[in-house]
Chains A and B, each alone.
Chain A
Amino acid sequence: NAGVTQTPKFQVLKTGQSMTLQCAQDMNHNSMYWYRQDPGMGLRLIYYSASEGTTDKGEVPNGYNVSRLNKREFSLRLESAAPSQTSVYFCASSAGTGRKDTQYFGPGTRLTVL
């Protein structure tokens, strides 16, 4: 039972390089999310996808793009990485509806931008 998987687990980039963080879930969830975690600030929502075919901005979307490739996969792209994007990135998914909707998180990706 894999749940939510993320690749890669670690990545080091130089300023200006691009990369895509991959996320997949096998729980048949409708909604998926990308968060970043910075020291002293908790997790902040970057983008989310309420259902396949839709994406919307969260609290901190600048510098990022997303693609909901299908129901299982939701990728996050950094087109031109900046040191301010050094962070731990988490993907999450949820059924998306109902009172007992719970978000399940992936293991995270630690990204360092030099």
Chain B
Amino acid sequence: AQTVTQSQPEMSVQEAETVTLSCTYDTSESNYYLFWYKQPPSRQMILVIRQEAYKQQNATENRFSVNFQKAAKSFSLKISDSQLGDTAMYFCAFRFAGGTSYGKLTFGQGTILTVHP
């Protein structure tokens, strides 16, 4: 079974600065997807960014980008120009791309990010 590990329970950053959240995973599969979800205090789960394992290019969504290192099984999230609204719990998640996975996600433990003014 695959596992996802987020080794940073909590992080903090000053507004307008850059922060990187770490995620590692373990799988024997070669075809899969990786995600970062944001959970603000409202509890709503919001997709931040998605990476397909067969793509070498790192995904980018506005201020959010990833550093995907397939050989190292590492998938970190970089938030540039941090904003107060980025304060949330961030989850890294894994999904197999084929077989009978039917979109089942495996989540990491989460990292609480606090952005200070």
A interface residues, Cβ below 8 angstroms from B: 31, 33, 40-45, 48, 50, 56, 58, 88, 90, 92, 94, 96, 99-105, 107-108
Contact = CB atoms under 8 A, between A and B. Distances in A.
Given A33-B104, A42-B107, A96-B102, A102 B50 contact: yes
B109 A99 contact: no
B52 A99 contact: yes
B52 A96 contact: no
5 contacts: A31-B102, A40-B109, A50-B102, A103-B103, A104-B47
B103 A94 contact: yes
Contacts, number: 55
Contact of B105 (A50, A100, A103, A107): A103
Interface in B53-95: 91
B103 A105 contact: no
Contacts of B47: 102-104
Contacts of A44: 107
B30 interface: no
B104 A58 contact: yes
A54 B108 CA distance: 27
A61 B59 CA distance: 34
7 tightest A-B CB contacts, nearest first: A42-B107, A105-B45, A50-B102, A43-B107, A108-B43, A94-B103, A42-B109
Given A90-B45, A107-B44, A41 B109 contact: yes
Contacts of B104: 33, 45, 48, 58
Nearest to A107: B44
B107 A105 contact: no
A43 B109 CA distance: 8
